[in-house]
Chains A and B, each alone.
Chain A
Amino acid sequence: MQLTLQIIANGLLLGGLYALLAIGLTLIFGVLRVVNFAHAEFMMLGMFGVYWIWRLTGIDPYLATIIIIPLLFAFGLLCDRLIIQRTIGAPEVTVVFATLGLSILLQNAALTAWTADIRSVTTHYTGMVLTPGGLRISVPMLISFAVAMLAALGLWLFLSRTFYGKAIQAVAQNREAAVLMGINVRRVYMWTFTVAVTAAGVMGGLIAPLYSIYPRIGMSFIVTVFVIVVLGGLGSVSGAVLAALLIGLVEASAGYLIGTAWAELSYFLIFLAVLIVRPQGFFGRRGAEVFGGR
């Protein structure tokens, strides 16, 4: 029983990490209809930002995460202005190549600036655990999980309870109608993209004490996060959180029961099964992938 609970706890904590990355990605897709292949690279930049602040000044990684937020935000705005805005409404292949190109650019910029060296943030709480009921819960993982859940809750409240949030939803549902209602669609796009990639950078900061930091670290997350976004339903924040937790649980339990090598295969099988039964994912809308679709 204890072992089962530990596997569930490990899976949920892992899912929490995925969730923070997935909610930003699903929001970008839901609102902008942009498949952001560069999303995990913003996470990588967040990791490097926190690493260098910690390394050069000794500032705690979590405090450093707060420090990098405005930097990530400004960089997100820049990317939006230079690249994303220009791809809105363009053929899908243009969008794909633009974000894929941004991904490659950021990876290679990091490689040039900081070399391929593998770096680590090691603090006194790197190995710290809480032991409720004999379970062992990693404190850094728990912090990441809590931030992800709070971010998802905050985003859900923002989207459903505020005027601006409803404007974002309106743009997501029907761009043309939103324009006719007087919503500044370009501004909605800009804020959505920038907030989402900032969230990815924040996730990078939060996981810096957990994972090694190198220019291609994003590659190890992005495929899983895309699976989560599609499984949860394109554009659905609550769907992304649910799917992230499910994937985390499947990965942890399949890894234990049938082997680590089978963990990825297991959640891909579940992914395919869900898509056969419900092609739009858990909470997605049919046709959500179409620009301006409903």
Chain B
Amino acid sequence: MVKSRSNCASRALLVGVLAMGTPLLALGASAPAAAESAVESVKVGALFPQSGDLAFGAADALEGVQIAVELFNETNQHGIEVELVTADAPDPAGGAAGVRQLVTGDNVDVIVGTYASAIASAAAPAAERLGIPYIETTAFAEGVTRNTGNVIRTTISSGALGASAMDFVLTGLAEQLGVAEDEMRVALLYTDDEFGVSIAEAALERLNDAAATLVIEESYPAATTRDLSSVLLRIQQEEPHAVVHIAQVPDATLFWRQAQQLDVHIPAVIGAGGGYGQSEFAEALGPNVNGIFNVVPPTSGSINVEALSSEAQDLLAGLQSGLEERGWDQGPYTDWAFMGTWVFLDQIVPQAASLSVDDLMAAAAEVDVDALDSITGFGFKFIPAGEDNSGQNERAIPVVQQWQDGRLVVTFPEELAVSQFIDTPLPTWEERTEPIAE
């Protein structure tokens, strides 16, 4: 079933961006000249999981940071030299240890991380205790900014992500399915780690304000779950209209394979970052991935990049050239980490009086980057120090993406959509004509 829309993709993105009501400032154009910058050099410590379960997606994020630093040094518009050192953070304890290593061993000025919410939640306070600013480019957990005073987060928070996922279920999806909000039956399934719980809490909070019914709420340990047949049988019994599933690649893949085996039909499934946004998830499911939703901040792969400013397009070309040179892939985390690091180096550091937490937070509060000037399609404006959730990028707004022909495209909200809904509701397993084999 396809929803008809008249708006053209590029115009929609432009309209959406303008609706945010912010002045356009091309990246780099607003930065002071080299002589004006009080900071001459910055030593950045990149803290990401390079081993362990989380190294898989984190590699993309680290690559994004590395290319941002290289590109910044190449252009050197502000006369600031950036040195990058890396540390492994396989788990929360490793994250805190990594901070100590970077700060006391490598003498970094600032830490950029972290990919995983649980690791960021341990590493950011560790950096705060040492008086070091922390730039979070990829982890979503709400507490990372809410519980600390040294974090500038360039990406979305779990609160916004969970609320947006549930908001989509109650509005755009309900309309598409032709179900009234008070008749909507929703299931929530999430991993019991910091990432899953923080998003689920926000989703539940949004759902509590609505007339819809929560029919299943289940969490599970992602690292040790080998069977999801039990929850799938409950889904079969309860017949929810939508399942919001916060998962990593292995459990998301297992969920869908077992759903097929047990012939469990779900009209719509909405992932919230994590596994549902990864190409490995799509590869595992083959054509059956089409129609599945994922709520995340947009990336260059899911928006119409032709609608971006020429500066943003140049920046994207620089990233892609760097990736191609090294034979690296471009994933969503590459984009978020690259753009977050770039904004920090290009917009915050040149305007800061020093690299202290206070001066960087003050400089961050002045940043005003429009969505069209960002390769990710979302802009940057940070909540000032002293206010609730300070350091959070309030322009990191999630969009609803849908897998279509094996790639994610933005389908909601309507003003940002580059494609119409497909397969909503999802076909039953019997109706699926394409084999699962490649």
Interface residues of A (CB under 8 A from B): 3, 6-7, 10, 14, 17, 108, 111, 115-120, 122-124, 126-127, 129, 136, 138, 141, 210-212, 214, 216-217, 219-221, 223-224, 251-256, 259-261, 263-264
Contacts and interface: CB of A to CB of B under 8 A. Distances in A.
A254 B218 CA distance: 13
Given A120-B280, A122-B285, A127-B261, 10 more contacts: A3-B237, A7-B229, A116-B53, A118-B250, A120-B283, A127-B260, A138-B258, A211-B226, A212-B280, A252-B229
B275 to A, nearest CB: 8
27 contacts: A7-B230, A10-B233, A14-B226, A111-B51, A116-B56, A117-B56, A119-B280, A120-B253, A120-B283, A122-B283, A122-B284, A122-B285, A122-B436, A126-B257, A126-B260, A127-B261, A138-B258, A211-B226, A212-B249, A212-B250, A212-B254, A219-B223, A252-B227, A255-B229, A255-B231, A260-B220, A263-B230
Nearest to A213: B250
Interface string B269-288: 00000000010100111100
Which among B59, B261, B278, B284 has the highest number of chain A CB atoms within 10 Å?
B261
Contacts of A127: 257, 260-261, 429, 436
B55 A116 contact: yes
A256 B234 contact: yes
A216 B91 CA distance: 13
B233 A256 contact: yes
Nearest to A260: B220
Nearest to A257: B230
B435 interface: yes
A260 B231 contact: yes
A199 B192 CA distance: 32
Contacts of A214: 53, 56, 250
Contact of B263 (A136, A212, A260): A136
A212 B284 contact: yes
A118 B280 contact: yes
Interface residues on B, range: 35 or more
A111 B223 contact: no
A3 B233 contact: yes
B262 to A, nearest CB: 5
A141 B253 CA distance: 16
A212 B253 contact: yes
Interface of B: 51-56, 58-59, 192, 218-221, 223-231, 233-234, 237, 249-250, 253-254, 257-258, 260-263, 278, 280, 283-286, 429, 435-438
A126 B438 CA distance: 11
A220 B224 contact: yes
Nearest to B278: A118
A261 B56 contact: no
B230 A260 contact: yes
A127 B255 CA distance: 12
A136 B232 CA distance: 13
A54 to B, nearest CB: 11
A132 to B, nearest CB: 14
B438 A122 contact: yes
Nearest to B429: A127
Contacts of A3: 233, 237
Contact of B227 (A111, A116, A255): A255
